[in-house]
Amino acid sequence: MGFYINRTSTENIHNYSYQEKIDAIIFDGGFIIDLPTNWSWNLVCVVNNGFMSGAGYAFSKNEMKVFLDTSQDHRPRTWLKYDNAMEMAGYDGNKRVQLKNLKDK
């Protein structure tokens, strides 16, 4: 796991709680889905880490499988589709991309 969404197109969500991250991604156009069975380029898994949660970008089929594997990791997860996932995670194929600094609104 390596690409995380710490901002939406309108705000910094790095220190947001689990539900706050989900809400911010939905506000920015994402929507909650059932557990994915097929990989698509816009999958996000928000994992509840307690105070500060992670919104992981499932950038590949293997990455999706890692997030789906709850055999030893029982933290709550919410799956979303989010068209801005790739850009907000700073992912461009096999490398990170520079994102423009977006002002918090």
Q: Which residues of 51-81 are buried (b: 16+ CB within 10 A; e: fewer)?
A: eebbbbbbbeeebbeebeeeeeeeeebbbbb
- Amino acid at position 32, single letter: I
Check: CB of residue 44 under 8 Å from CB of residue 58.
Answer: yes
Domain locations in the chain as residue ranges: 18-96
Nearest to 13 by CA among 26, 2, 64, 1: 26
Q: What is the pLDDT of residue 50?
A: 83
pLDDT tens by residue, 17-73: 999 999 999 999 999 999 999 999 999 999 998 877 999 999 999 999 999 999 998
pLDDT category of residue 1 using cuts at 50, 70 and 90: low
H helices within 15-96, ranges in order? Answer: 18-27, 61-68, 85-89
Furthest-apart CA atoms within the chain: distance in Å:
39
pLDDT confidence tier of residue 91, bands split at 50, 70 and 90: confident
Higher pLDDT, 77 or 73: 77
Q: Are 95 and 65 in contact (CB under 8 A)?
A: no
